[in-house]
């Protein structure tokens, strides 16, 4: 039987791990834009230029930080998105977290993009490394313990639910903000401190850690006035995120846009999850 | 009323924070061996040489990593312990985690050492930042999540109890090893997996995270044979610790001697606790 | 200002508490079908017969156990539903958990029924006393501890979520059965043992406590074959419930239809919640 | 091989279960004072009078509620302790929770008493059913949920530790009272509300549930003045207990001396533990 081949273009540590996992299963991996990563497996070939066949291209997940260049920290030189699409005319490219303008750009080159981060299964699998990663970032950015401090989680969706539970597990006093009556009832049932969106201003000032999971601007100029100067804001919402980072900076409040946490804090776990998902697709 | 003065010699981030806290309360702080730390408070003076009066000297906590030089990462140049003692003849010096040989060396210069880490109150206060710090280190050293992985805690004393609870809080499958019948009964009552010291060998191979709190060599050559190659060992026991690091290195097992965690991961919290304790002493 | 009046017809301990709460706030309460309850408040009048004015009638919650007679354990004699409706022609009656046939019967007497248990807010408020009540029943029916035993929760909806959390809190080994991929992912994220509906048969035999929250016949003859003989089944689903009680009885398996738990195990709390809800309505 | 025989005298449900367990293993059980219990096993013989051989007698655990008669709810008629000792002259009798005066009385008849509840192993095993039983009693005695209410645990020993954890698990706001600095530090580390014995008076009034584990009179007349009128006191301390029950009654405060909880709420579990312990002894 013929060895199966896979084609990688760019990507961060998560993609590197992913390549290694597939290689261990006997895949031949052609990589481009991972030149500076030291692979341990001989099935992984570093190509001079983007190599293609009839198959899909597995590109960066997330795809880009500036919507101009690929998210490719291990590339010997920056790879422009435009350039990639021109080389990959007519191909299907697996990407992550792309904006409409990127889809449009792809169309002009007749590339088909599949945003794997829109995949339901993966989204759920990523909840855990995202929540755990948020706690790691909070620990690293803070000079205090999480234990015994006040932490507030904005939003009680998928990530909010798991993150709140972990924060209590570490020993934080956890506040959870929500809008819906039903969510507030559960927040109470789970033993967290309920914060109705309407009374958020009263609670913000006492919180050392602020985790946002709401995908629209909730911590705007007005709200940031109520945030303590030594607070740490960690924004987990998908871009553009829920924080006015400009203004936070002006006010000297530490605010972090936690982007692609699973890949950063648990690349192996994250890669494992992407692999599970890719296997459904490829 | 006369401004109170304090004299610092060396120390890590924890000492720097400590100096700032006292300064904020109006103390005049004379520091030596903290040259490269950027203090924000005018009450803190960086002295050319060790300045003294009749009072105590607050030195590094922990005192040294090699028992030759002070633990002083912000010093413009290394400060030898011998040199410090010679300059501080007859003084009382507040230190942390010193060995008998250091006491002896101090005696020859008629210095009185007070090891604040032997202070009961501080020991208890430090349990939380130590446990939380251990989790941070585990997160940073690992490419997987803690959630859903097996973690074992060796020893069910002060740190073991709090650490186990936090690990469950993050979502690990927690095993706890103990010797005493009573401890095993509590381990069970708290819902952890009991591991009698006798059957440790059976459980080690399945554990991704191994936290040692036992202050004698438990993970020796023999035991390390049962540790998984991708495991992460974090030793929280006071020096010399409970792991054969030499052999772990040979076997390519990641083993970390987590030394002075409170100061490293939560310097502000740690400093606050030391301050509380110092105030009892000074 | 005129004293406000309320009219009660039947009801269990929950209704009695409810009457007392309103009485304490100065309401005059006319009760019928609560003769044998010893009220401590003079604002509560036990009427010889159903007294009416233009207002609503607050009747039994839940309304009936046999769909013939009112749920009225404190009544001096049984009160037939038909009889009540005939006496209350044209009135609005607040009830709980009524079937379509009861609505129809009401219509023939031109009575308007308002089923307060369909009220969204109350449903959520009742989740907690229901879950806690389920644990109390399990404790009372069992000769073993919950701690250290296997418990399975069928369904991961409102009650399932809170109940699972409480069971872990007591120290049970908790299994949760669900159907949806997303639910299973959360069950895992929360640290429970996932049981896909498909593999339920493998897990049932090891479970001492079985809590059903699914409102259709899941524990049918076939499934009951896999239930341990010393297991305790507690059905929390709204009538007709999810258990073949006939067959369970034949097989000598203890199966309990936990009906109106909030009223039974925490009448004061339950009444407080109903009061909150009634105040929105009246 | 000869069938082994065991001799039971009195005892509650726990003893009955115990007899059945041994019987299932092939022991011949001679019972006296369990006449009204319906045994299902033919190896269990109900004797007209206390039957003896050279072996030990397994008597009531706990031994007595009034120090005059055996704890024997299933006996056809009361059995006086004095009478038992006179019949069992020279024998060794296994008992539970006996006072010095009982030991003295035994001596006069040259009976040797072995109080199994003093057995270290059993004491630890009983912590769980005691804590879980305390929660069951609280649920049964209360008309409110435990969830969302304030509960205080007096004493942070074996039972206090496990009980506090379970109460949090149900969703109570848990306060824990202790005396020792170290205990208070752990109470904080475990995320409970610390209550120093000195400030107990401030916290008592807000507590709906009060669990005492301290074996001396802590809730005396003076302290009871600070207990809310609707509070429920559950005393888990060994006799005489830590509550002035007389005065509590005068003040109409519900106070329960929870005596031999394991046997009452989880007889099977309790019996299993006693069996384990007896097997070490016999």
Q: What is the pLDDT of residues D6-33, one digit of tens each?
A: 999 999 988 999 999 999 999 999 999 9
pLDDT of residue B2: 54
- Token output for B199: 């059957």
| Model pLDDT for residues D249-262, shown as the tens digit of each residue | 999 999 999 978 99
Is residue C121 within 8 Å of residue C280, measured between CB atoms?
yes
- Token output for A188: 């109470």
Q: How confident is the model at residue D279 (pLDDT cuts 50, 70, 90)?
A: confident
> Helix, strand, or coil here: B249?
helix
CA of residue C41 relative to chain centroid, distance:
27
Pick the closest to residue A153 from A100, A207, A90, A222 (CA basis).
A207
Q: Which residues pair with D8 in a beta bridge?
A: D31, D58
Tell me how far apart the alpha carbons of residues B150 and B139 are, in angstroms, rounded to a whole number: 13
Query: Is pLDDT at A109 greater than 60 in this prediction?
Result: yes
CA dist D176 to B165, C219, D155, Å?
18, 42, 7
Searching chain C, which residue's CA lies closest to the CA of residue B190? C171
Residue B161 touches chain D, beta carbons under 8 Å: yes
User: pTM value?
Assistant: 0.84
Compare CB distances from C139 to D136, D168, D171 and report the shortest one's residue. D136
pLDDT of residue A51: 84
Average pLDDT over residues A230-244: 90
Query: Is pLDDT at D1 greater than 50 in this prediction?
Result: no
Average pLDDT over residues D165-191: 92
Is residue A24 within 8 Å of residue A277, measured between CB atoms?
no
Q: How confident is the model at residue A1 (pLDDT cuts 50, 70, 90)?
A: very low
Distance from CA of C273 to the nearest CA of A (A): 12
Q: Contact C139/D144, CB-based, under 8 Å? A: no
Pick the closest to residue B211 from B139, B122, B118, B121 (CA basis).
B139
Q: Contact D171/A148, CB-based, under 8 Å? A: no
Searching chain A, which residue's CA lies closest to the CA of residue B14? A143
DSSP labels for D82-139? HHHHHHTTT-EEEESS--HHHHHHHHHTTPEEEEGGG-HHHHHHTHHHHHHHHHHHHH
Residue D189 touches chain A, beta carbons under 8 Å: yes
Set of chain B residues whose Cβ sits within 8 Å of the Cβ of C147 = 189
Q: Round the average pLDDT of chain B to a whole number and report it.
A: 93
Average pLDDT over residues C149-168: 96
Distance from CA of D161 to the nearest CA of B (A): 9
Set of chain B residues whose Cβ sits within 8 Å of the Cβ of D125 = 185
> Helix, strand, or coil here: C232?
strand
Is ipTM beyond 0.90? no
Query: Is pLDDT at B1 greater than 50 in this prediction?
Result: no
Residue A123 touches chain C, beta carbons under 8 Å: no
| Model pLDDT for residues C119-154, shown as the tens digit of each residue | 888 888 899 999 999 999 999 999 999 999 999 999
Query: Is pLDDT at C239 greater than 80 in this prediction?
Result: no
Sign of the dihedral defined by the CA atoms of residues D235, D240, D244, D247, in that order: positive
Residue A189 touches chain C, beta carbons under 8 Å: yes
Residue D166 touches chain B, beta carbons under 8 Å: no
Ordered strands of the D254-257 beta sheet: D193-196, D173-178, D150-154, D209-212, D232-235, D254-257
Residue A162 touches chain C, beta carbons under 8 Å: yes
CA dist D128 to C15, C129, C209, D125, D238, Å?
36, 24, 18, 7, 16
Q: Which residues pair with A29 in a beta bridge?
A: A6, A44
Searching chain D, which residue's CA lies closest to the CA of residue A147? D189
Q: How confident is the model at residue A54 (pLDDT cuts 50, 70, 90)?
A: confident
Q: Which one of A254-268, B110-124, D71-85, D236-250 scores highest in mean pLDDT? A: D71-85
Residue A127 touches chain B, beta carbons under 8 Å: no
Pick the closest to residue D63 from D106, D22, D128, D10 (CA basis).
D10
Q: Contact A162/C189, CB-based, under 8 Å? A: yes
Distance from CA of B176 to the nearest CA of C (A): 16
Query: Is pLDDT at A3 greater than 70 in this prediction?
Result: no
Q: Contact C143/D168, CB-based, under 8 Å? A: no
Which of the two residues, C121 and D237, has the higher pLDDT score? Answer: D237
Distance from CA of C263 to the nearest CA of D (A): 9
Residue A191 touches chain B, beta carbons under 8 Å: no
Set of chain B residues whose Cβ sits within 8 Å of the Cβ of A170 = 132, 135, 166, 169-170
Sign of the dihedral defined by the CA atoms of residues B144, B147, B151, B156, in that order: positive
| Model pLDDT for residues B130-183, shown as the tens digit of each residue | 999 999 999 999 999 999 999 999 999 999 999 999 999 999 999 999 998 889
Residue A26 touches chain D, beta carbons under 8 Å: no
Q: Round the average pLDDT of chain A to a whole number and report it.
A: 93
| Model pLDDT for residues D83-142, shown as the tens digit of each residue | 999 999 999 999 998 999 999 999 999 999 999 988 888 888 899 999 999 999 999 999
Residue A135 touches chain B, beta carbons under 8 Å: yes
CA of residue B169 relative to chain centroid, distance:
23
Query: Is pLDDT at C1 greater than 60 in this prediction?
Result: no
The helix (run of H) or strand (run of E) holding residue A32 is: strand A28-32
Q: How many CB atoms lie within 10 A of CB D179?
A: 12
């Amino acid at each position: 039987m013929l060895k199966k081949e896979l084609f990688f273009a760019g990507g961060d540590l998560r993609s590197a791990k992913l390549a290694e996992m597939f290689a261990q299963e006997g895949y031949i991996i052609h990589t481009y834009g991972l030149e500076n990563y030291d692979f341990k497996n001989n099935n992984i070939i570093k190509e001079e230029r983007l190599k293609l066949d009839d198959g899909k291209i597995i590109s960066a997940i997330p795809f880009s930080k500036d919507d101009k260049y690929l998210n490719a920290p291990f590339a010997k030189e920056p790879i422009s998105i435009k350039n990639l699409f021109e080389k990959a005319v007519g191909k299907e490219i697996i990407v992550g977290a792309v904006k409409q303008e990127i889809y449009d750009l792809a169309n002009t080159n007749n590339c088909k993009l599949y945003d794997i981060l829109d995949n339901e299964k993966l989204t759920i699998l990523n909840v855990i490394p995202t929540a755990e990663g948020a706690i790691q970032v909070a620990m690293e950015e803070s000079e205090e313990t999480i234990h015994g401090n006040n932490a507030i989680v904005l939003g009680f969706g998928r990530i909010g639910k798991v993150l709140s539970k972990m924060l209590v597990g570490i020993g934080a006093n956890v506040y959870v903000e929500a809008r819906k009556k039903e969510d507030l009832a559960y927040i109470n049932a789970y033993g967290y401190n309920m914060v109705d969106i309407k009374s958020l201003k009263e609670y913000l000032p006492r919180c050392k850690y602020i985790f946002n999971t709401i995908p629209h601007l909730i911590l705007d100029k007005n709200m940031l006035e109520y945030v303590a100067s030594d607070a740490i804001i960690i924004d987990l919402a998908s871009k553009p995120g829920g924080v006015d980072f400009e203004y936070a900076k002006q006010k000297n409040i530490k605010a972090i846009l936690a982007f692609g946490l699973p890949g950063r804090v648990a690349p192996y776990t994250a890669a494992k999850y992407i692999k599970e998902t890719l296997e459904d697709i490829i």
